[in-house]
Amino acid sequence: MSAHQSSTLPQHPEKATLEGRNKFLGLWFFLAGETALFATLFGVYLGLRNSNAGGPTAQELFSLPLVFVMTIILLVSSMTSVLAIMAMRRKDMKGLLRWFIVTVILGLAFLGLEIYEFIEYTHEGHQFTKSAFASAFYTLLGTHGAHVAFGCGWITTLVIRNFNRPLDTYIAPKFYLASLYWHFIDVVWIFIFSLVYLLGVIG
């Protein structure tokens, strides 16, 4: 059956095939596992956050304005990925691609600011090998950052590969999964800015 003939087009193309449904469930389970993964890192950080071994403390280090900007950037990027999927609902492939490109740009901006922040901190004496607090801080934030970077790579790959392809039930799950993953890393950031930065500044 040729795809040019009009057939009932699924409203939720990402779930219209068995493969799509399997991928959907698989990614959700993966995210549940990642919840346990990041929780362990959070636990380690919270346990070690006062062990600064003479180096700078959280209160001395953290710059709330910068973190606020980073938070808004990531939150907006989460919204733009929602808009990308809403474009998919409208069967608007160009819109989907456009919003995902914006998402990646915002993600890269977030990463750039985070790298800048880390460099500043190392100059102030907050170094990975200096104290348990620093080791825990950089590992937690670094793992999150690595996940953001992976997400940027993933979405970029999908955008480039599918730039000239029409939306169909093979491609839709791929983009849907990428957006779910992107939301998840924003969820993790919510807890990072709350438990690391805000709690760190409170003391």
Q: DSSP secondary-structure letter at 17?
A: S
Residues in 162-201 that interact with other proteins by CB under 8 A: 165-170, 172, 174, 180, 183-184, 186-187, 190-191, 193-195, 198-199, 201
**What is the rounded CA–CA span in Å between residue 192 and residue 195?**
5
- 32 touching other proteins, by CB under 8 A: yes
- 51 touching other proteins, by CB under 8 A: yes
Amino acid at 161: R
Residue bearing tokens 């901190």: 121
Nearest distance from C-beta of residue 85 to other proteins, angstroms: 9
- 21 touching other proteins, by CB under 8 A: yes
Residues in 73-92 that interact with other proteins by CB under 8 A: 75, 78-79, 82-83, 86, 89-92
Residue among 56, 61, 71, 77 that touches other proteins (CB under 8 A): 71
**What is the rounded CA–CA span in Å between residue 181 and residue 164?**
24
Nearest distance from C-beta of residue 25 to other proteins, angstroms: 5
Give the three-class secondary structure for 48: helix
Residue 13's Cβ-count burial label (10 Å; 0-12, 13-18, 19+) is buried
Residues in 118-157 that interact with other proteins by CB under 8 A: 128-136, 139, 153-154, 157
